[in-house]
Amino acid sequence: MKNLCLLFSCFILFYLFSCKPNLVGLGEKTYSPQLDKIMVEQLGINDSVNIVPPQSFMVQRNLVNNGNADVNASYVIRDRIQPMVFQAIVGNYGFDTIPNTTIYEETINGPQLASSAQDSISFGPIGPLGCGMYKETITIDTLNTVDESNEFDNQSVHYFFVPSTQNFSVTKNEILTGVPHDSGKIVTTVFTVTAGPTFSVEYAHFTYVSTEGSKAVTFPAPPVNIPAGTSLDISMEIEVIEHKFTSGFESSIYGKITTISEDGCIIKHEGAKVFVEHSN
């Protein structure tokens, strides 16, 4: 009889513990409208990333009560969005949130759900947002008012990206792709950077790689701001150093310009390679 009572007591405790609701997100979040969806491996994300327009969008998520009791109490669901930045540190690189920064937060009352029932929740409209990567966290029952069988599955994290609308053009005119070794200083390439009608572009940087001592510069030299609605011609001038043939190396010089949109979200490179004739 004692063992039977003990077994009965354990059954009652198990029944009371298991007869609880459990609220959890079901499936993936959906964004409307959505421009695209990509997979970002590593880089601090390692997940799918939705591409959304900068103007405005909605977020929808399905919610299910997979517990053994109904949800009759009121509770709160929160959507929080944090901007992310790309960080490059020695030995590590990727996206990370900006500490203590939230650019969007919305709370709604959660639906009352019977056991095994589901419903959809939505947030928004969200935006306009600046270009960049964002981390979105939806938390169910933020105030912990519902006694659930599992209190550790109420949060879901996802990432979305807002592309820049500040597209611009960079073209090149390769005047010369090869020069004699005794050319001295000579312009070989002209890059043309055209800013957008409503935003500027920064000619930010120039680099070159030379296999046998030749040098390169641009006119004008960076940095240069290219105002909205204008273009800038950038001449690459190389200074050829006369040299003898070096076995195993291709005699050439490669120059590359770096340009950045005003909002900092689009970076474009353009480069040109010039071969230098050997002196035997």
pLDDT at 184 over 90: no
Q: Which of 70-74, 110-114, 173-177, 276-280 has the lowest mean pLDDT?
A: 276-280
**Residue 253 — pLDDT band, cuts 50, 70, 90?**
very high
Mean pLDDT score, 230-236: 98
CA 7 to the chain's CA centroid: 56
d(CA 224, CA 232): 9
Mean pLDDT score, 256-268: 88
pLDDT at 14 over 60: no
pLDDT at 280: 60
pLDDT at 218: 97
Q: Which residues fall within 8 angstroms of residue 118, CB to CB, at 6 or more apart? A: 26, 62, 63, 64, 65
Q: Which domains does the chain possess?
A: 19-162 (2.60.40.10), 169-276 (2.60.40.10)
Q: What is the full DSSP assignment across 52-91?
A: --SS-EEEEEEEEE-SSS---S--EEEEEEEEEEEEEETT
d(CA 5, CA 36): 61
Burial class (CB in 10 A: 0-12, 13-18, 19+), 60: middle
Q: What is the pLDDT of residues 123-138, one digit of tens each?
A: 999 999 999 999 999 9
pLDDT at 7 over 50: no
Mean pLDDT score, 55-82: 94
d(CA 195, CA 197): 7
End-to-end CA distance of the chain: 108
Name 218's bridge partners. Answer: 236
pLDDT at 15 over 80: no
pLDDT at 57 over 90: yes
Helical ranges in the chain per DSSP H: 2-18
Highest mean pLDDT among 45-49, 167-171, 259-263: 167-171
What pTM was estimated for this model as a whole?
Answer: 0.70
DSSP 263: T
Which helix (H) or strand (E) covers residue 278, if one does? none
Using alpha carbons, list the distances in angstroms from residue 85 to 9, 58, 94, 103, 136: 55, 23, 8, 14, 14
Give residue for tokens 């002209």.
190
Q: What is the full DSSP assignment across 147-204?
A: --S-TT--EEEEEEEE--S---EEEEEES-SEE-TT--EEEEEEEEEE--SS--EEEE
User: Do the Cβ atoms of 227 and 210 come closer than 8 Å?
Assistant: no
User: Do the Cβ atoms of 173 and 190 come closer than 8 Å?
Assistant: yes
Mean pLDDT score, 226-251: 82
- Report the mean per-residue pLDDT for the chain: 87
Burial class (CB in 10 A: 0-12, 13-18, 19+), 17: exposed
pLDDT at 22: 95
- Would you state the structure tokens that stand for residue 52, as one six-digit string? 């959304």
Highest mean pLDDT among 24-28, 136-140, 257-261: 136-140
pLDDT at 10: 38
Percentage of residues in the chain having pLDDT higher than 70: 87
Give residue for tokens 């039977």.
4
